[in-house]
Amino acid sequence: MKILFLSIFSIFLLSAFDRADSSAHYDKILTHSRIRAREQGPNVCALQQVMGTKKKYFSTCRNWYQGAICGKKATVLYECCPGYMKMDGMRGCPAVAPIDHVYGTLGIVGATSTQQYSDMSKLREEIEGKGSFTFFAPSNEAWNLLEPEIHKNLIDNVNIELYNALHHHMLNKRMLTKDLKNGMTVVSMYNDLKLLINHYPNGVVTVNCARIIHGNQIATNGVVHVIDRVLTPVGNTIQDYLEVEDDLSSLRAASIASEVLDTLGKPGHYTLFAPTNEAFEKLPRGVLERIMGDKVAAEALIKFHILNTLQCSEAIMGGAVYETLEGNTVEVGCDGESLTVNGIKMVKKKDIVTSNGVIHLIDKVLIPDSAKQVLELGGAQQTTFTDLMAQLGLASSLRPEGQYTLLAPLNGAFSDDTLRMDQRLLKLILQNHVLKVKIGLNELYNGQQLETLGGKLLRVFVYRTAVCIENSCMVRGSKEGRNGILHLFSEIIKPAEKSLHETLKNNKQFRLSM
C-alpha cells in the first residue's frame, strides 16, 4: 500500500510540474528537449554535451541548430527526463523514478558526495524526517572543484562547518524550478543567509551563479536540484569588495572620482566587469588622466562597465547584447570556458558573487564613445583620416572643451595620388572635413550650409535614401564623443569652387545664351 501511495504521489507531483507556469523558462526548454527526443520513446530528453567536457545542457533552438555551445562543438545525448527511468525491454523511459526522502534522493540523482557529507555531519536524520525542504545539492564534480583548503576545513569540522555549509544549500520549503523566479532571493537554513536566484530566458537557472544541472527530483519531503558548484556564504556588496581588493585599486579610485562607487553599495542586481590595475596600466599615456579630469567622461567610463542585470557566466551560452548604466550596449558572449566582451577574450576571473550582483575581472578597460575625444572615435576603416589629422597637426587644434563634427572619409577614399600631395594642400583638404560645431545626423536638412575649419561652406543634400555633403554621401556608423560627432563618408569631400554659371561659361563644350 505504501509503495502504491508513493507512486501515485510521485505521478501527481510530476503532473503538477508538467503544467508549469508559462514563464518558467527551464520547463519550456525541457519540453523542447522532450520533443526533440520523441522518436527515442516516452519521457526521453535530448541534451547537448560540450565536447571534451562533462557539461550538459537542455539547449535553446539557437544552440541546438548550431550544434555548438559557446563556439564549441556539442554532441547530442539522450537521457531520461527528470523523474523518469528506463525499464528492461521497453523503449524510452516509461517508468516513474522511485520516490524517497531527500537523503535517499541524493543517491538517486548521483550526488553521492553530498549524501556522504550529510551522513558525516549528522544532517541525515533531519532530511530523512518530517518537513518540506529544497536541497541545492553540489554534484560530485562540484566538491572536487572546491578549493582544497576550504574543502579540508569542512571535512575537519563536520559537526559545525560542514553541517552549516550543507544547511546553506537548503530551504525549509519545496521549490521547483517554476517557483524560482528571476531576481528573487530565498532564505537558506543557515543563519537566514540569502541565496540569489536567476532564471534566464535560455532555461538556465542559477543559485548564487551555480547552475542547476539536474532539477526537480521530487522527494517525499521536498525536492533536490543538483548544482555545478559548492555555494559559499555571501555578505558583502560590490562596493565592499572593491574597497578591500588590492588588484582593483585603480578602479576603486576611478569609481570614487566619478561618484559611482556608492551606487555599487545599494541593493540591486548588477554585473560589474572590473578592470584590474594591469588593465588600467595598458591605457595610452594621458588617456586616463584626461578622462578622470572630466567628471562627465569619468562617470561614463565607470558606468560603461556596469549592467543593471545580473549575468552569471554559466547562463551565457552565446552572444547577447546588454545595456550598460552608461546607456550604450556591450556584447557579452563566450568562447569555450572563456567569457568575451565585444568579441574579445578579456575575462580573467568569473562569478565573484556579492549580495547585490556579480563581478567578472577583466584585463582591458572598456572606453565608451561618450568618454572619448572626437578623433578617438575613428575605427579601423578611418585610420588614414585620423593618422593624417595627427601628422598634419590638426588633432591638436581640436580642444577638449570644444565641439566639433568630423566628416571622415573611409580609408579607400584616399588614393595614392592624394597621399602624395604637398602636405600644405593635404592639410587644407582635411580642414574642410572638420566643422566648427557639433551636428548630429538628425540636425541636417536639405540646402543647409556648414562652415569648415578651413573657412569653406559645404552644402547638404538630403535624398530619400541618402544624406550627402557636396559630392560625398554618408555611410552608416556615426558616433558621438565627449567633444563632438564623427560621420563616415564614402569619398573625400570637394567643396564647390565656382557657381554653375561660371562652370558652364568656362567649359567650351557649352554655349550660353543669356
Nearest to 341 by CA among 325, 364, 358, 310: 364
Range list of β-strands (E), 267-390: 270-275, 306-307, 320-323, 329-335, 338-341, 344-345, 347-354, 357-362
Q: Give CA–CA dist 339/25, Å, rounded.
A: 23
CATH number of the CATH domain containing 409:
2.30.180.10
Q: Is 127 exposed, middle or buried (0-12, 13-18, 19+ CB in 10 A)?
A: buried
Nearest to 429 by CA among 335, 369, 497, 370: 497
Give 300-335 pLDDT, tens digit per residue: 999 999 999 999 999 998 889 999 999 999 999 998
Nearest to 400 by CA among 374, 379, 366, 378: 374
Residues in Cβ contact with 28 at an 8 Å cutoff, skipping those fewer than 6 apart = 20, 22, 203
Relative to beta strand 338-341, strand 344-345 is antiparallel
0.75 exceeded by pTM: yes
In a domain, residue 4? The reply is no
Pick from 169, 196, 227: which residue ends a domain? 227
Both 158 and 49 in a single domain? Answer: yes
Number of domains in the chain: 3
Both 205 and 303 in a single domain? Answer: no
Both 378 and 353 in a single domain? Answer: no
Give 251-293 pLDDT, tens digit per residue: 999 999 999 999 999 999 999 999 999 999 999 888 999 999 9
In a domain, residue 2? The reply is no
CB atoms within 10 A of CB 245: 17
Residue with cell 566648427: 436
- DSSP secondary structure string for all residues of 393-442: T-GGGS-TTS-EEEEEE-GGG--HHHHTS-HHHHHHHHHTTEESS---GG
Both 136 and 191 in a single domain? Answer: yes
- DSSP secondary structure string for all residues of 12-31: HHHHHHHT--TT-HHHHHHH
Q: Give CA–CA dist 189/383, Å, rounded.
A: 59
Both 187 and 249 in a single domain? Answer: no
Q: Give CA–CA dist 204/69, Å, rounded.
A: 13
Residues in Cβ contact with 344 at an 8 Å cutoff, skipping those fewer than 6 apart = 364
In a domain, residue 9? The reply is no
Both 275 and 380 in a single domain? Answer: no
Range list of β-strands (E), 205-278: 205-207, 210-219, 222-227, 270-275
Q: Give CA–CA dist 206/315, Å, rounded.
A: 8
Domain ranges, residue 254: 238-369
Element (H, E) at 182: none
Cell representation of residue 199: 532564471
Cell representation of residue 466: 541618402
- Determine contact, residues 198/159, Cβ cutoff 8 Å: no
Both 309 and 382 in a single domain? Answer: no
Both 445 and 478 in a single domain? Answer: yes
In a domain, residue 399? The reply is yes
Both 347 and 412 in a single domain? Answer: no
Cell representation of residue 471: 559630392
- Determine contact, residues 473/466, Cβ cutoff 8 Å: yes
Pick from 194, 227, 260: which residue ends a domain? 227
Tens of pLDDT along the chain (514 residues)? Answer: 444 444 444 444 444 444 445 458 999 999 999 999 999 999 999 999 999 888 999 888 888 888 999 889 999 999 999 889 999 999 999 999 889 999 999 999 999 999 999 999 999 999 999 999 999 999 999 999 999 999 999 999 989 999 999 999 999 999 999 999 999 999 999 999 999 999 999 999 999 999 999 999 999 999 999 999 999 888 799 999 999 999 999 999 999 999 999 999 999 999 999 999 999 999 988 899 999 999 999 999 999 999 999 999 999 988 899 999 999 999 999 988 889 999 899 999 999 999 999 999 999 999 999 999 999 999 999 999 999 999 999 999 999 999 999 999 999 999 999 999 999 999 999 999 999 999 999 999 999 999 999 999 999 999 999 999 999 999 999 999 999 999 999 999 999 776 555 555 566 666 655 4
Both 94 and 223 in a single domain? Answer: yes
Give 383-412 pLDDT, tens digit per residue: 999 999 999 999 999 999 999 999 999 999
Pick from 328, 352, 369: which residue ends a domain? 369
What are the backbone dihedrals phi and psi of residue 329, each rounded to the nearest 5 degrees, phi first? -115, 160
- Residues found in the chain: 514
Q: Nearest 5 degrees, angle CA 235-CA 356-CA 370?
A: 140
Cell representation of residue 313: 557566466
CB atoms within 10 A of CB 61: 10
